[in-house]
Amino acid sequence: GEAVERQAGDVALVRPDQSDANLDIDTYGICAKQGCLWIEWLVNANCGNIAFGACTCDGLTHPDASVDANDDCWTYSVAGQASHGANLLLSDTAEESDIISMQIDTDRGHIGFYKNYEFMVGFDDLLEHPKLALLSALAGSDDGRSCDTTSEDAFRPGIRPFVSLVAAGDSVSYLGLKTGPLDIVYPEEDPHGRCKFACQLVDGSLHGYGALSFNTNTERWFGHW
């Protein structure tokens, strides 16, 4: 079998026939326990089914692959639905001039989609996917997860953002990683009772202190996020 060694904080895979060689892992994108990213796009023109999301390296390997109902894609469509594998959710639709944001939190295992900074829909199963947990497993994670490191694609863990344009007239602008103050609004039916979250972002990551208010109007949480 293969042995795993960790040296100087780096993850290395040591094969039996290369006992003296440390092979760096070629990551595909952001992996488990690598923080949080807030990414934004502007919808310029929409013919009905532009999709935004994140995928693993296995998500779109086939020419006929779809970003919808795909085990390797977490997707929001402006038509008003979101999906990851067989998990299909209804959501708000989006139109031209709307800003679509995606928050990837690899510490909590959450991916959320926002329209004009109002939360629409999210998934909490990121860390259940082996391509997210791979680095933790190779580093000797004690959370009980294990991953297959025998295949070639096991060297490419992580997820990347994507945009899927369906029609010739579809157009979006990539606004990049957000920096600056941010006020997130939650819908009235939010299952956690959240109302608004005010915070600062630096290069797409939460930075400094934030304030979370709830629909009761009597409870607020302040803290370092």
Same domain, 150 and 45: yes
CATH number for 149:
2.60.120.920
Tens of pLDDT along 78-112? Answer: 999 999 999 999 999 999 999 999 999 999 999 99
pTM for the model:
0.79
72-80 mean pLDDT: 96
Say whether pLDDT at 1 is over 50: no
130 contacts 154 by C-beta, under 8 angstroms: no
212: domain range? Answer: 179-225
> What are the structure tokens assigned to 160, written together?
């990347």
Contacts of 196 (CB under 8 A, 6+ apart): 183, 184, 185, 186, 212, 213
Q: At CA 104, angle to CA 112 and CA 47, rounded to 5?
A: 55
In a domain, 17, yes or no: no
Helix (H/G/I), strand (E/B), else coil: 135: helix
Same domain, 36 and 146: yes
- Identify which of 67, 89, 62 has the alpha carbon closest to the alpha carbon of residue 191: 89
What is the tally of structural domains in the chain?
A: 2
Tens of pLDDT along 164-198? Answer: 998 989 999 999 999 999 999 999 889 889 999 99
In a domain, 192, yes or no: yes
Tens of pLDDT along 113-157? Answer: 999 999 999 999 999 998 887 544 455 444 444 444 445 444 588
Alpha-carbon gap, residue 169 to 108, rounded angstroms = 37
In a domain, 20, yes or no: no
Alpha-carbon gap, residue 142 to 145, rounded angstroms = 8
191-213 mean pLDDT: 91
Confidence band for 225, pLDDT divided at 50, 70 and 90: low
